A and B are shown apart, each in its own frame.
Chain A
């Protein structure tokens, strides 16, 4: 990918960060925000920037990067341009894990991603098992159908878990299912950021294998890849990333679908380039979508998952049409 495209992606991230910090219920001049980042200026501005907006923006960057990388890895490994954690039911499974952890009162910031990961891994196993049983593991449409069914099942499971739950837990569950960065805290940001960094670094380490898996199972095996093991590894890492984003911000669909396609459209070819590019573009897109969610119908806040779906669904339909 040309250097100027990398610069464009980094610039998009910077613009999104600036928008995330300056735009909101109270509009802040960029100069005041800059000073507030250093703890200088009006104490209320410093408080808004450092305690409210900055953790929210950083969480958005981490969640967006995680979703982008997860989608890029899943698309390459499944050889499926429609693959992404939300559509494959992975995010739904993660939400079940997270809600179960909340219901069982074991949802410490460090443990929540782990519980979400357990749910996500189970969802991946079910989706792939269903597709394999149908003899269509490589058919993009069958995988998406299986993912949608598992996602619906996950929603139902969340409702069952919360059937007799207190009102506060039910509100929390709705939050999981609609996506939001509203509860961003520095403690959550630290854990989510750490897990995203670990998952992303591991995906990059296996970037060459991912590239070979994208050729197909037989070519990958012929070139020296232990296909079963490599596929399992990438699924688990992509699921970890998706689960972490769910733990941090609930169910946010379509970022993992849209972002790798944009990056490929910008000229990214190798798996590692696509993964890094998807991390940058995902981070920028999610922070920008959050700005829209906060301001489009202010003072009310739109669910972040609804904003990304408004962007992602038309995109998905276009991709589906191209597959025919």
Chain B
């Protein structure tokens, strides 16, 4: 019978129309600005820098300005300058750390290659601005966010990172202690062993 398919289709649309009033499966719209969708924990958009203390975020950045992320970033949106003292010795801190979020493509490769767990992905997506040029170029003071914040947005990952960092710190301390003891035993006029706070070894990617 010609027209049967049409009527069948109309029945489907009618079912969806009626269903959209009581079946949450068929009514999927979220009234966005008033109601915000729950983001999954893995959600990422732009990177931020992890700082240990909220009082002094720039002083306690985990970043040591090694520039690995700058080299690996596919669209090259990261710019880092190492902080140096008067003699030119590296302070292992970034003097400049800029991320151009208008260029960033949220690929997370900076996070994957960072050996120090210093850069992580943020979840803030409402960053639209009417300023054309510099508003989306984020500097290190805008990028620095605390570890507590990291725990809030990615609890599972943050707990893993903290456990790993604690284990590495402990291992490094024990190694330094053992080295100091060995040195003291071998050399009699033992000068105080310089307990170098060696950066933790790179974790397996």
The judgment on whether A and B are partners is no
Q: Name A residues whose Cβ lies closer than 8 Å to a Cβ of B.
A: none
Residues of B within 8 A of A (CB): none
